[in-house]
Amino acid sequence: MQDEASLLASIPNQLFIGGEWVDSTSGRTIDVIDPSTGRVIKTIADASVEDGARAMDAASAAQESWAATAPRVRGEILRKAFDLLQERADDFALLMTLEMGKPLAEARGEVAYGGEFLRWFSEEAVRISGRYGSNPEGTGRMIVTHLPVGPSFLITPWNFPLAMATRKIAPALAAGCTAIIKPAELTPLTTLLFAQLLKDAGLPDGVLGVITTSASGEVSAPIIADPRLRKLSFTGSTPVGVRLLKQAADGVLRTSMELGGNAPFIVFEDADLDRAVEGAMQAKFRNIGQACTAANRFIVHESVAEEFATRVTAAVAALKVGRGTEAGITIGPLINEAAVDKAQSLVDDAVSRGAELRAGGKRVTGDGTFFEPTVLSGVTAGSEILSQEIFGPVLAIVPFTDEADAVAKANDTQYGLVGYVYTRDLARGQRLIESLQTGMMGLNVGVVSNAAAPFGGVKQSGLGREGGAEGIGEYLETKYVLTPNPFA
């Protein structure tokens, strides 16, 4: 593994447009900060509206030839990228820990997870199929085929810098779409390094552009309004997603929206509590609680709520807070000061409304933006922590009385990304599959993400699915053709 300084020195600091590393026309720069120290680790180009237009020109120019490139060739470039990522896994992991803060072991896990989208969609590229058959009247033949949507604009959040990029880039390229990606200002370095990796894997010029900017709204709006753009894929918060959907409506763009979550984690009285606690620790504390799939509300049967709280409090005592590069660290920093303030205010609000603080509860003093892993039990209805995404290492327990009460509490949110259910009762588990208003569910497991699965939400958690057989469909148009019966 390279050391931090040499790795950071090797990361491109320019925009990636038309297959070249280029300066921003504005001449402005962005400072990227390590949240565990508060120090600037790299200064990179800050794209202007003109740079966005240049990226759009390049994506548009490359679209026709990329769509005409054989699916096998597109797939093999993605497969080569997968192989290169394995070789450079340590660099990508360290870079994510430096710019985002997650512990190195989790960053390695994200390299593995993010890489799987490259392998999966390298395999899907050659499976874009259609159908041919008689119309019901027998007077004609119907052909259904799938074609690339066209140039796509991909906007990603800061919390999974590699996986959120590969989950969009891989299906777009596999489908034959060119793309422009705009990573979050807070964690742009991983996307820049990944663009270099794709170039090394043989991606033709212009097929992917990367624009990093401190003015996301100003630079994105003209791209979304450009008539050459055909698709907008966004992962981020629900309020920004709603705003972008409105902008996309003007051009009647295809959209995929992976938005916020407020996951319920339901523990029934018959659950295997050892497994439930293990799953809870993953579902809550993975990525320092900063995941859209993070369990937000632990809805636990009143007969086991105290036991569950005691056990998770003991497990939380074993967590180790610190800089993610250090051995044994399991909880890194939150992304910035605003995230710490939010966690603090949600904890204070819950306690003021009667919740019991069992562990943690406050900021860690010193450098960086660390928050103590926290457990709250007996959280009362109306507490803000039950309706907002916590996005921090705070585990909030709410007791329930019976299955109907659990389902009502779980569904009492505008979000619907994922839910977790722990029970040994098969029929109850099956009922919950249908009664939980979520796009995904973990049944006796605390992590569901998989490149082979359709990831996505219902209600205000979004539209569309990423990954699985469904993922490539987000970048394909369906075309229907009718021809006369050739025998008539």
Report the C-alpha gap between 223 and 56 in whole angstroms.
Answer: 7
For 33, the enclosing helix (H) or strand (E) is strand 29-34
Report the C-alpha gap between 116 and 6 in whole angstroms.
Answer: 27
SS3 (DSSP) at 399: strand
* Eight-state DSSP code of residue 203: P
Least distance to ligand NAP, CB of residue 224, Å = 8
Helix runs in 152-228, H state only: 163-175, 189-200, 216-225
Sign of the torsion formed by the C-alpha atoms of 64, 68, 69 and 71:
positive
Q: Which residue is nearest to ligand NAP (CB)?
A: 236
Q: Which residue of 220, 287, 374, 437 would you call a contact of ligand NAP, by CB under 6 A?
A: 220
417 binds ligand NAP (CB under 6 A): yes
Side-chain half-sphere CA neighbours of 102 within 13 A:
26
24 binds ligand NAP (CB under 6 A): no
Least distance to ligand NAP, CB of residue 284, Å = 14
* 83 CB-near residues (< 8 Å, 6+ apart): none
Active site residue 258: yes
Q: Which residue of 13, 48, 152, 216 would you call a contact of ligand NAP, by CB under 6 A?
A: 216
Active site residue 87: no
Residue 222 or 429 having the CB closest to ligand NAP: 222
Site string for ligand NAP, 239-268 (x = CB under 6 A): -x--xx-------------xxxx-------
449 binds ligand NAP (CB under 6 A): no
Least distance to ligand NAP, CB of residue 431, Å = 25
Are the C-beta atoms of residues 81 and 175 closer than 8 Å to each other? no
Site string for ligand NAP, 272-311 (x = CB under 6 A): --------------------x-------------------
185 binds ligand NAP (CB under 6 A): yes
Report the C-alpha gap between 255 and 277 in whole angstroms.
Answer: 37
Q: Give the active site residue among 292, 389, 466, 474.
A: 292
Residue 301 or 342 having the CB closest to ligand NAP: 342
Least distance to ligand NAP, CB of residue 348, Å = 21
Least distance to ligand NAP, CB of residue 37, Å = 20
Q: Which stretch binds ligand NAP (CB under 6 A): 42-50, 182-190, 379-387, 467-475?
A: 182-190
158 binds ligand NAP (CB under 6 A): yes
- Beta strand pairing call for 476-484 and 394-400: unpaired
Tokens of 268: 């029934």
138 binds ligand NAP (CB under 6 A): no
SS3 (DSSP) at 148: strand
Contacts 24+ apart (CB under 8 A), 424-428: 424/270, 424/271, 424/272, 425/268, 425/270, 428/268, 428/403
Q: Which residue of 38, 130, 202, 217 would you call a contact of ligand NAP, by CB under 6 A?
A: 217
Q: Which residue of 361, 393, 462, 473 would you call a contact of ligand NAP, by CB under 6 A?
A: 462
Burial 375-408 (b: 16+ CB within 10 A, else e): bbbbbeeebebbebbbbbbbbbbbbbeebeebbe
Beta strands in 111-252 (DSSP E): 131-134, 140-148, 152-155, 179-182, 208-210, 231-235
| 75-134 binders of ligand NAP (CB under 6 A) | none
Are the C-beta atoms of residues 157 and 466 closer than 8 Å to each other? no
Tokens of 422: 């722990």
Q: How many residues bind ligand NAP (CB under 6 A)?
A: 29
26 binds ligand NAP (CB under 6 A): no
236 binds ligand NAP (CB under 6 A): yes
Q: Which stretch binds ligand NAP (CB under 6 A): 21-29, 77-85, 193-201, 234-242?
A: 234-242
Residues annotated as catalytic are 258, 292
Binding residues (CB under 6 A) for ligand NAP: these are 155-160, 164, 182, 184-186, 216-217, 220, 235-237, 240, 243-244, 258-261, 292, 389, 417, 457, 462
